[in-house]
A = this chain, B = another copy of it.
Amino acid sequence: MKLALLGCGLLGGSTAAAWRRAGAASTVAGFDRDADAVQRGIALGMIDTAAGSVAEAVAGADCVLLATPVGAMPALLGALAPHLQDEAIVTDVGSTKAGIADAARAALGAKFARFVPAHPIAGAESHGIENATSELFDGRWVIVTPTAETAADALQRIEGAWTACGAVVERMDAREHDRIFAAVSHLPHLAAFALMRAVAAGAEGSRCLQFAGAGFRDFTRIAASDATMWRDVALANREALGRELTAYRAELEALQAALDRADGAALQRMFEDASRVRRGMRFGAFGRNEGEDGHDE
C-alpha cells in the first residue's frame, strides 16, 4: 500500500513508521507546509520521498493519511479530492470526528465512501517528527467512526493496518466519540492550560513555579501541548467541550463553597469519591496499570 502522508509531525510520522513496520504500508510520500519536517522524516527513515505539493503526494497513493491539526483538514480534503486515484482510501488521525466527516462528505462527493475517520489514542505533549516512534500505538485504542456510506473494504483495510501495529480498534459513532473525548481528553487539556496560566500570572508566579513538585509536573504535563492543535480541537468540538467545561466549573464551584464554609465532611466526601474512582482506573486497550511510560492522545 503506497501511503501519502499529509502532515509530517509526531502522529503522522509515528503512523507511517508503525504501518510500515507492520507491513501495512510499502512506500511513504510525505508532504508538509514545513518542507524541513519532510526532510527530517526522510533522514529518520520514516518517509521515502518528499512531495512538492498535495497533488503530487496524492497522485499515486493507495491511501492518503491526514495528520495535520484538525482545523487544516477541510481545506486539505478539498485540495486532495481531484487528485485521488479511483480506489484510494482517505483516512485521518484527528482528535475530533464529527466535523471531519462532514467536511469529507462535502469535499469528496462520491468518493466519501472511501473515507475512514480514525483517532488513535496515542500521542504526546512533545511534537515534531523527530519525536515520532513506530511503537506509539502498541496496546492503544484506535477509535474508528465509520458512517453509513463507508465502504466495508476500506474500513477493513484501515482497521487491519492499526491492528497490525498492536492497537485495538473500537468502532463508535462520531458524535459519541466527540462527547467521550471532550470529557477525558479535551477538558483535561483546557484545565491544565488554565491552571498553568493562573499560577504563572499570580503575584509570586515564578517563585511558585520554582518549588513545584511532581504532582504539579504530572498535572500540567499536557499544558506543554501544541497550541494550534488544541485551538483546532477546541473549536471543532466546542459544543461537547463547552458542556464538559460547564460541568467541571460547577464541581469547582461546589468545592469552593465547601471550602468557604470550612465543611470538612463535604470536602472529604468529594475527595473520597474522586480518589476511589481514580484508583480503580486502568489505562490503554489492555487495561494496563500506572507504571507504563507516558504517551498521550
Contact = CB atoms under 8 A, between A and B. Distances in A.
Interface of A: 71, 121-123, 125, 140-141, 143, 170, 176, 179-181, 183-185, 187-202, 204, 207-209, 211-228, 230-232, 234-235, 238, 241-242, 244-253, 255-256, 259-260, 262, 264, 267-268, 270-275, 277-279, 281, 283-284, 290, 292, 294-297
Given A217-B281, A223-B278, A235-B267, 19 more contacts: A180-B207, A184-B208, A184-B216, A188-B220, A190-B255, A193-B270, A194-B251, A196-B275, A197-B270, A214-B292, A214-B296, A215-B221, A218-B222, A226-B275, A230-B267, A235-B262, A238-B259, A242-B256, A245-B256
A192 B274 contact: yes
A175 to B, nearest CB: 11
B214 A180 contact: no
A272 B228 CA distance: 8
A180 B231 CA distance: 30
B238 A278 contact: no
B228 A268 contact: yes
A271 B189 CA distance: 9
B277 A209 contact: yes
A245 B255 contact: yes
A245 B241 contact: no
Contacts of A199: 183-184, 187, 244
What 3 pairs across the A-B complex have the smallest Cβ distances?
A: A227-B271, A213-B297, A196-B274
Nearest to A222: B215
A249 B256 contact: yes
Given A267-B231, A275-B227, A195 B188 contact: yes
A191 to B, nearest CB: 6
A273 B194 CA distance: 10
Contact of A230 (B193, B230, B256, B271): B271
A28 B123 CA distance: 47
B211 A275 contact: no
Contacts of A180: 204, 207-208, 211
Given A180-B208, A219-B222, A249-B256, A227 B272 contact: yes
B215 A274 contact: no
A200 B281 CA distance: 11
A213 B283 contact: yes
A186 to B, nearest CB: 10
Contacts of A196: 273-275, 277-278
B194 A252 contact: yes
A231 B198 contact: no
26 contacts: A121-B211, A125-B215, A183-B204, A184-B208, A184-B209, A185-B216, A187-B195, A187-B198, A188-B215, A188-B220, A197-B273, A197-B274, A212-B283, A213-B284, A217-B290, A218-B221, A220-B281, A223-B277, A226-B275, A227-B268, A227-B271, A231-B264, A235-B264, A242-B259, A242-B260, A249-B253
